[in-house]
Structure 1
């Protein structure tokens, strides 16, 4: 792709795996900042090294270690996820292209998300847990290039991420904000309350269960 074609929110392939663009820095050598959909690992790349992909009905992929299938023909359910593919927010709503949102309530075929966004049915696909019959696996651009060992790692990914995220946070831990692609470091801990560099304050439990924050790494970790 050319840099002028790259937009925040686009789904793209990089190193054969599905990613989401969260920022474009035109003056940087590696100008496209992304996170890998299956585990939220952050990477940077040149525009010419990525391939654009537009998600479709019955596409299937790994999200945070779990497999989901996109459906445009069924209503959403409270507690489930949606992928916003045709964003048309009202002035009180705050969401953009290809955002993952968790459904808090359903109003007809429209939904209200846990971020208090009202999203119309025409704007999103429902993320159905599992691999639906007739679905198209888009986790990889070319699955024939993926080793069996890599696929076996994918099968264990959800449990691995759950175990990692359950670790008690420490000062210096860095979290990814799934809403806007920004990162924040844990700067203070008082009893069971965590303060992030952004000013956000959450309990250990709320941070672990949060739909907005995902653990990335700790600046205090050292190579063995």
Structure 2
């Protein structure tokens, strides 16, 4: 992944913040459609993500993400869906394999979403309404940037209602204080289900019975006898 660091240039901090804010609002101004070229700012504002920033607890076990990516400046859910494209172009393929097709399931700033999270705070709780299994991704976004976290929930579906997050690995001010979260978004791989035939509308005919040769010969003899009998009957009672 190519990264451009803005801290190589002597820009005034006020101008830098103004430019980063415009980038976040426009989204597509910085990130191309494939979202492989990301722009990073000074570490005082966009710190590197760390796995301990987003965790969850299940059955007294604390789970950390296997990997994270960020912090990345811009809007992860901009019109051209930069993060979704990034995931589908192989962001975490080293962990999940290359046969995954990802989808956006929900975001915490929408009513009734699949994921809930503390709003407008630099740290808080998150939870997911439906049971999860296997891989899932959380994107924690502030008004400046976002960081992406890959989790493995395991083969058995689990319910996550004790998640914790902070934005120290997303964006901070010059004093090292995390910015308030804007939303947390949930991504999961698409599941391809094998259709099961409906026994009512698609009955399984089962094995087809093949008549024995003797049965076929008997049927021919019976039909021949019926034809002979009918012909004799017509000869006796013509007209």
TM-score (norm 1): 0.24
Say which structure is richer in helix.
Answer: 2
Q: Is the strand fraction higher in 1 or 2?
A: 1
Larger radius of gyration: 2
Higher relative contact order (CA 8 A, sep 6+): 2
Question: What's the TM-score, normalizing by structure 2?
Answer: 0.23
